[in-house]
Structure formats: structure tokens, C-alpha cells
Amino acid sequence: MNVKVLSLFGATLARFLARVLLLAALAQPLFVNAQSKNRALGFETMAKGATIVIMPSDIELFSLSAGGVLEPKADWTEAAMRNFKTAMDAKRAQLDMKTVVLTDKDMDEIAEINALHAAVGRAIALHHFGPGNMALPTKNGQLDWSMGESVQAIKKRTGADYAFFSWIRDSYTSSERAAAMVFMALLGVGLGGGVQMGNASLVDLNTGRILWFNRLVRASGDLRDAGKAAETLDALLENFPAAK
């Protein structure tokens, strides 16, 4: 292996290890009390009889190449979206919630709100669930984030009280990556495989306030499989504040 190839491989390895370290840091819980971590101050459960809008899930799947590059897989993503929607439909019936599902026409007019949720969700995952040195002093350790007036468009269109958002990015180890992992292990270097990252939010459509948030970071799960997609949804909905 010549010097140029070694240099390229080393740079790729460094980028991947940096990603793994970031994921490991994000996986460390910042708070001990699950309620104070997942729920906004003063919020316990949804109001009885309230209506919740199920926003289309923001999902994308990737293959992890030998060099640690994430390559988007459109067919996997399409399958994952179908499986997750099926799981969500079943969960809605199980929880016996009054729900509204937006039409494609609705989503065309409020598509930017899902993108806003993705940005806010990343901020919460980093600054609320991340390592202590990333916490924002102004939050005082509380789940204190809002999507602002943007969600009024959903309220106006549906009349609902809450909206449920979900975001998932899932990567899977390619055969080339698996071979690289074995090879590097022989050299005493550990390479990581695919990672499933996701989050879910319950938003008050009257105020834009995020009332509940849950995060998922793990090296398991497979949205390409219907049964495993349902398990991923269950993991995202842990401690979900359904009306009692």
C-alpha cells in the first residue's frame, strides 16, 4: 500500500472515528430523572379528548461504505417509510388517541415545518441530552424549546391540539465495510458499523412549545423490516405522555 493510499485511508478513518466519538457522547445521558429529561417543566400528559396530528416521518436510510462514507439508498428509504407508517397506524389504534393524518396536499403547504423540527430536534439532542459541557446555561437543565408560530399553520388547517413529529436516520454496514472491520480488527483497530439515530416530539399547537421529546441512538434496529420498524417506533415512544 503506497503512501498516498495510506494517507487517504487515514483521513477517512479519522473522520469516521470522530463521528463515532460524537455518537458516543450524545448517547451519554445528561439527567437521571426521566421525566425532567423528556418533558417540559409543568407538563405531565396530554389533555383527555385532545386531538393530535401525526406528521409524516422524516426518514432516510444509508449504506456505510468501506471507508465510512454514508451513501443514501432511496429504495431502502421508501420501504422504511412504508413500514414506519404501518407501525404508526397500528400504534394509533392501540393508544386509542384522536388523531389527524395530513394529506399530501396539506404537507406540500407546510413542508418547511418538518425541516424546522429536524433542526430543533438536533439542537435538543445535542444541548439537552448531550454531554454536560454542551448544555445551555439559559435552559437551567429543562426541556425548554419551541417551534414558535410556525405550527399555527397546522393548527389552522386541522384544529388539532398537538402535533407528533419524528425524525430517523439509519445506516447499515455494507459487505465492504464488514470486510474492512475484520481487516482492521486484525491490526488492533476497531471500526464501527451502522447506527440508528432518531428523535420524536410532542408539540403544543397553541404555543409551539415542545412538551415532550425522546431521542434514540443505538447500533441496532432495521427499518427495512416491518417488525423491526415497529420496535423502533416503540423505542421512540418510550415514556410517551398519552392521556390517562
Per domain, the residue ranges of the chain are: 3-236
Who's near 55: CB < 8 A, 6+ residues apart?
102, 113, 114, 117, 154, 163, 164, 165, 166
How many whole angstroms separate alpha carbon 236 and alpha carbon 169? 13
What are the backbone dihedrals phi and psi of residue 71, each rounded to the nearest 5 degrees, phi first?
A: -110, 115
Instruction: Report the C-alpha gap between 18 and 8 in whole angstroms.
Output: 16
d(CA 84, CA 222): 11
Position 238 scores a pLDDT of 93
Give pLDDT, residue 189.
60
Amino acid letter, residue 205: L
Within the chain, residue ranges assigned H as helices are: 3-26, 34-38, 74-95, 104-109, 111-127, 152-158, 175-186, 226-236
Query: What span, in angstroms and rounded, lies between the C-alpha atoms of 159 and 154?
Result: 8
- Backbone φ and ψ for 128, nearest 5 degrees, come out as -105, -40
Query: In 3-state terms, what secondary structure has residue 94?
Result: helix
Does residue 166 contact residue 61 with C-beta atoms inside 8 Å?
no
Rounded Cα distance between 35 and 44, Å, is: 8
What parts of the chain have a pLDDT lower than 70? 1-36, 66, 174-194
- Which residues does residue 23 pair with via DSSP β-bridges, in sequence order? none
The pTM (predicted TM-score) of the whole model is 0.79
